[in-house]
Amino acid sequence: MTSTHTVTAQGRAEALAADLARRIDQRLLLPGARLPSVRTAALQRGLSPSTVVAAYDRLQAAGLVEARPQRGFFVREPAPRPAAPARQATPSPAAAPFDTLTLVRNLMRPEHQDSPASGVLPLSWLDPTPLRQGLRAACGPGEEAALLRYADPAGDPGLRALLAQRLVDVGIGASPDQILTTVGATQALDLIAHTLAAPGDAVLVDDPGWPIEYARLSQAGLRLLAVPRGADGPDLAVLSHLIAAHRPRLYVTVSVLHNPTGHSLSLGQAHEVLRRCEAGGVLVVEDDTYAPFAAPHAPRLSALDGLKRTLYVCGYSKLLGAGLRVGFVAGAAEPIAALTERKMVHELCTSAVLERALAHLLSRRALNRQTEALRQRLDAARLRCGRLASQHGFGFSTPPAGLFGWLDSGVDSETLAQQMLEAGWACAPERLFSPTRTGGPHLRLNFATSQDARFWAELARARDRLLGR
């Protein structure tokens, strides 16, 4: 007869296996991730080592994890789905190096949107009043055409004129005809990936960088070449080598308030990046998504280049909220014409109502006070996070700036993030931001959502456990 103790042990093992299987299914544990050691998991869960081993054995039998001698248990790559018959002239693009859908789903979960892993400002920081005012004006008397007709494929002419004026503030000269509006900066980057490069082309990306961009480029069939990005900016020697060896078509980069490190290029670094890319015939795609949180005088690659070999991408969702999906790309006449043609084929046009609403806000300079208030609040949040990090023995690998900090945890950040998730805090480990899916000690922290002293105390406890303190 089975003893009550055995039944209880089996039940605990099954419960642990089910919980880990759920995390793997939801991609909270990504392929290649190492499960906590048996000893660590036993301590974390209050279980016996034999119960943890039984749970891991169940996961291995189900094909979800694999045991590697002397290293532990690792999440397996999912079994490939049977290929559906299709007619195609070119090979299918390689699988994206990061599970884009999983990342997007996690970012959009309400419980994660105000977590340290968040990529946006907290909802409590955003004021819907200006957007409401803009929408009322865009839907008011005399605006029937915006409501009932297709819009100009290039974007609302009045908005493009206002955007051209705004670009002067960051040193970029562009006529309205050099600007194409898009559904947020995301669509602008997607149009570029599918229009100005072909499957098989090489593309330079920052490492670390934004994982959704890695996935977007890979799904377009492009080969990613990682340019290491540290406290001193891009590794120029590696950049030159990759350009000479692979002749890449594009370099998708962030020059100001880089995501995830917060670094901004100096004037000298920006000149060197442009010089080497121009010599190699590389088109630079400058993603300035976090421009609202940066000083206008920060060197933009597109300002230095005059939009000859650069494309400038920006949007307003980070400032006004994600409900306003209006972005734009500025560049020379030829690439903008090509991007406009693709936009017409795939979208016909963007929303005239949303574009008129943004134009209303820009024409009245209604965003200036809101932007300045957010910058001041974010400055205070950064100072507080810096103090809390120092008090708990942490440091940042680059000087804190903008919305994000690149925190050096001193331990494997993926294991640390798993422990923090158990404690109710979602964190973003280094591996998520690597095009080669290489881990390390860094966490990307959102300064606006990482001000709770309880978070820092728990982070320090989790780090100390991993260090055996």
C-alpha span between 248 and 345 (Å, rounded): 26
Between 253 and 111, whose confidence is greater? 253
* Local confidence band at 32 (pLDDT 50, 70, 90 cut-offs): confident
* Local confidence band at 297 (pLDDT 50, 70, 90 cut-offs): confident
DSSP H or E stretch at residue 129? helix 129-138
**Using an 8 Å Cβ cutoff, are 337 and 140 in contact?**
no
pLDDT score for 20: 87
Residue type, 366: A
pLDDT score for 92: 33
Partner residues linked to 253 by β-bridges: 286
For range 201-222, the mean pLDDT: 92
The first and second tokens of residue 11, run together, are 């039940």
Mean pLDDT, all residues of the chain: 87
Q: Which of 170, 247, 257, 158 minimizes the C-alpha distance to 210?
A: 257
Residue 138 has pLDDT above 50, yes or no: yes
User: For 394-415, how does the pLDDT look when each residue is reduced to its tens digit (9 = 90+)?
Assistant: 999 999 999 999 999 999 998 9
User: For 150-171, how does the pLDDT look when each residue is reduced to its tens digit (9 = 90+)?
Assistant: 889 999 999 999 999 999 999 9
